[in-house]
Amino acid sequence: MSQMWGIVPLPVVGHSSNRLTLLARPDWDFIAMKRYSVFAIAREAARYHTGWERAWAARAPKKKYDVIIVGAGGHGLATAYYLGRNHGIRNVAVLEKGWLGGGNTGRNTTIIRSNYLQDPSAAIYEKSRSLYETLSQDLNYNVMFSPRGVMMLAQTHHEVRGYQRTAHANALQGVATEYISPQRVKELCPIIDIDGPRYPVLGALWQPRGGTARHDAVAWGYARACSDMGMDIIQQCEVTAVRQSGSKVTGVSTTKGEIDCDKLGIVVAGHSGVLADMAGFRLPIESVALQALVSEPIKPCMDVVVMANTVHGYMSQSDKGEMVIGGGADGYNNYTQRGSFHHIEETVRALIETFPMISRLKMLRQWGGIVDMTGDRSPILSKTPLEGCFINCGWGTGGFKAIPGSGWGMAELMAKGASPLTDAFTLDRFREGRFIDESVAAGVAH
């Protein structure tokens, strides 16, 4: 993937006073990379773009690290980044069996929101959403965060009551949402049919500061910052065994040799059960495929994200004009990353009732990702029975929106042994019956 390292990202262009403030922040004293800016683009244009550095370095693994993170997706890279930025732990390796961001991080539909019902969920997702607000400036890498707003349609009276309850819960949690009328829904999204024959729109839960971001840019931005801190990002390096002495982790065996570590973080989404089995414990998760598709590009017609749980579909429009469409996860366990016809038929048929205009669109491409689902549809961020080994998994269909908050909490957990963001998401909750039921909030893939 050397061609990926040479990608020139879009610069973060803002007011000069904002850039000066960012440069003066104490927690950025370690940054030595060449900063992206409008001036850098002008300079490189003058010399035919021959002076761009690689976004992150290609390094061979060392014999030992303080921390090894398995999984170079958004969550793994964010964990490594906040270990360095917040806790000063920079002797870190991020191992990836494929290419950086090639799993769910590069296969999702980029929706960001925090309007969850349960307090622990709202806390970690709102932390994540707030970090997304300034992530481009923090990383000096344009992640294209677009707070265009997210609405979740109420198309049954049961959903009306449920979303009104969530709006009240969000008010107590400090999450800015509101329940809006069908007329307001139509104002925000003119292409929607609020008088559908089977499922008319009765209202919606509206989060104005939700939105989208560019998924691969999030991974690349974190990777660039991690590399600049001296962390090693090692691709094409599959973990084949988790080594331990007694009940403590000592390192991993990989296709690039043995690597020792003091602490190990497993952040591999749908393959979490495989790595957990190597470490000697089992997880209460199942892996299923989550599919999505995009249409041919069309002129701008929709500047919000709309989710419809009743018909089980959601849609937004990308910066390139494509209609990004998704629905529910497959109903059977599998590890496929390909699409299937039944998903197109079921999801698009449902959405056409609410968005009649999309009936004439052609599909451009389709794909799938492997998601890990827990029984209560909430994640696991926890210590494990193996001392020094930590696990971050179970995000199901909502992992992308949680990347910054998940990395923040996981880094704190690994550095300090506990984090307010992760305390409720331990493995023990399944044995003790402390479920964090988000089956309604996660009722449609997003």
CATH class of 59-142+214-284+376-432: alpha beta
Q: What pLDDT is stored for residue 349 in this prediction?
A: 85
**Quick one: 321 exposed, middle or buried, by C-beta within 10 A (0-12, 13-18, 19+)?**
middle
Q: Is the pLDDT of residue 221 over 90?
A: yes
Q: What pLDDT is stored for residue 336 in this prediction?
A: 85
Q: What pLDDT is stored for residue 32 in this prediction?
A: 61
The H or E element containing residue 150 is: strand 150-154
User: Per the structure block, which two tokens stand in for 213?
Assistant: 């971001």
Q: Is 351:226 a contact under the CB 8 Å cutoff?
A: no
Residues 27-48: what's their mean pLDDT? 77
Residues 272-276: what's their mean pLDDT? 95
The confidence band for 14, taking pLDDT boundaries of 50, 70 and 90, is very low
Rounded CA-CA distance 57/189 in Å is 44
> What is the tens place of the pLDDT at every residue in 82-126?
999 999 999 999 999 999 999 999 999 999 999 999 999 999 999
Of 102, 156, 50, nearest in space to 268 by CA: 102
User: Per the structure block, which two tokens stand in for 338?
Assistant: 């390909």
Q: What is the pTM of this model?
A: 0.89
Top-confidence residue, 338 or 112: 112
The H or E element containing residue 182 is: helix 182-188
> What is the tens place of the pLDDT at every residue in 315-327?
999 999 999 999 8
Q: What pLDDT is stored for residue 442 in this prediction?
A: 54
- % pLDDT > 70, the chain: 91
The domain spans of the chain are 7-50, 59-142+214-284+376-432, 150-210+287-374
Residues 12-25: what's their mean pLDDT? 34
Q: Which of 124-133, 225-234, 344-353 has the lowest mean pLDDT?
A: 344-353
> What is the tens place of the pLDDT at every residue in 194-219?
998 888 999 999 999 999 999 999 99
The confidence band for 1, taking pLDDT boundaries of 50, 70 and 90, is very low
> What is the tens place of the pLDDT at every residue in 395-444?
998 899 999 999 999 999 999 999 999 999 999 999 999 999 887 665 45
Residues 245-249: what's their mean pLDDT? 95
For the chain, the average pLDDT equals 89
The confidence band for 19, taking pLDDT boundaries of 50, 70 and 90, is very low
Q: Is the pLDDT of residue 335 over 70?
A: yes
Q: What pLDDT is stored for residue 28 in this prediction?
A: 35
Strand 178-180's sheet: what is its strand order?
A: 178-180, 203-207, 150-154, 305-308, 313-317, 323-333, 285-295, 363-374
Q: How many CB atoms lie within 10 A of CB 241?
A: 12
The CATH-assigned architecture of domain 150-210+287-374 is 2-Layer Sandwich (3.30)
Q: How many CB atoms lie within 10 A of CB 205?
A: 26
Q: What pLDDT is stored for residue 441 in this prediction?
A: 60
The confidence band for 350, taking pLDDT boundaries of 50, 70 and 90, is confident
Q: What pLDDT is stored for residue 21 in this prediction?
A: 32
CA distances in angstroms from 240 to 107, 237, 254, 350, 362, listed in the order given = 24, 9, 5, 43, 42
> What is the tens place of the pLDDT at every residue in 278-328?
999 999 999 999 999 999 999 999 999 999 988 888 999 999 999 999 988
CA geometry: angle 117, 120, 122, nearest 5 deg: 50
Residues 338-353: what's their mean pLDDT? 84
Rounded CA-CA distance 389/403 in Å is 20
Three-state SS for 352? helix
Residues 43-54: what's their mean pLDDT? 90
